[in-house]
Amino acid sequence: MPLFLKPIFHEKIWGGNRLKELGYDLPSDCIGEAWGISAHPNGKCEILNGPYQGQTLDQVWNEHRELFGDFPSKEFPLMTKIVDAKEALSVHVHPDDAYAYEKENGQYGKSECWYIIDAKEDSEIIYGLSAETKELAIDKLNDGEYNGLFNKVKVKPGEFYFIPAGTIHSIGAGILVYETMQSSDVTYRVYDFDREHDSGHKRELDQGKAKDVIEIANENINIATDTEIIENHKRTQLVSNDFFTIVKWQISGTLNYMKPREFVLVSVLKGEGQVIIDGEVYDLNHGQNFILTSDDLDTIFEGDYELIVSYL
């Protein structure tokens, strides 16, 4: 039986209400993130169906590891979320595993990736630094010389970006992003456009740790994807590395699906249909998130919809 999950909403100073477009009932009009699949302490998604209904994903992970192929990790390793950037996010950076383990109480580092669901015309992300060396970048940060320091890239719907730990980045205003990442919430804020809290104080920066972990990344960041047609369905492998593999499926009709790993994370980006698992039928609509576990052997996707599937 799949594990359907209840999303967790996080208010952000830069958030909006566009997540309503995915069928979510939002608690306010400044929601920046919907954590769709998460066992992180800062957002533990609740199971909505079956014998584990009402339990959180971390509980099921800890008590029923057989559902995940007895995967040898203390913490559930991945997280998915949808980000609504009504305004630009802060410019920030995440540490790698080694740094986070030492400095952040044994947490995961954070490499992540973005699938651009929607973007207003001329919307931009920040990816990497214009400085040729880390030393030059740190000098500019020390001097507060932000103008021209951050690489800006115009984006459009359907594009995909991998952001390894150590890469300075930000999602710009008017962009809706599906994000898959290591299960981490460690962020070092570098620059925040001098925004203030409601209290009138500027939001805190964490440039000390940021300077420790930043790396210069100026390569071609819009990853070339690998697409194939399987049973009249379009399968696009977006990325595969040591942290995760991300695949986009465009389902049209009936697909007999074989899990590539013991468990996979699935999110419905648009459309509707059904998933039939070991003879049981479950309705699917945009905005839903679920996990196919080791117990889910015979899976059929049916309908017209788009999925993002993530796994280790």
Dihedral angle computed from the Cα positions of residues 263, 182, 238 and 286, in that order, rounded to the nearest 10 degrees: 70
Are 151 and 125 in contact, with CB atoms under 8 Å apart? no
| Catalytic (active site) residue 189 | yes
φ, ψ at 110 (rounded to 5°): -145, 100
Q: Is residue 169 marked as binding? A: yes
Q: Which residue has the tokens 């590539």?
A: 260
How far apart (Å, rounded) are the C-alpha atoms in residues 48 and 289?
10
How far apart (Å, rounded) are the C-alpha atoms in residues 302 and 215?
43
Q: Is residue 233 marked as binding? A: no
Catalytic residue among 65, 189, 235, 261: 189
How far apart (Å, rounded) are the C-alpha atoms in residues 307 and 154?
24
How far apart (Å, rounded) are the C-alpha atoms in residues 116 and 157?
5
How far apart (Å, rounded) are the C-alpha atoms in residues 44 and 5?
10
**Cα Rg, the chain, nearest whole Å:** 20
Supply the residues annotated as catalytic: 189
Residue numbers in the known binding site for Zn(2+) are 94, 112, 169
Residue numbers in the known binding site are 94, 112, 169
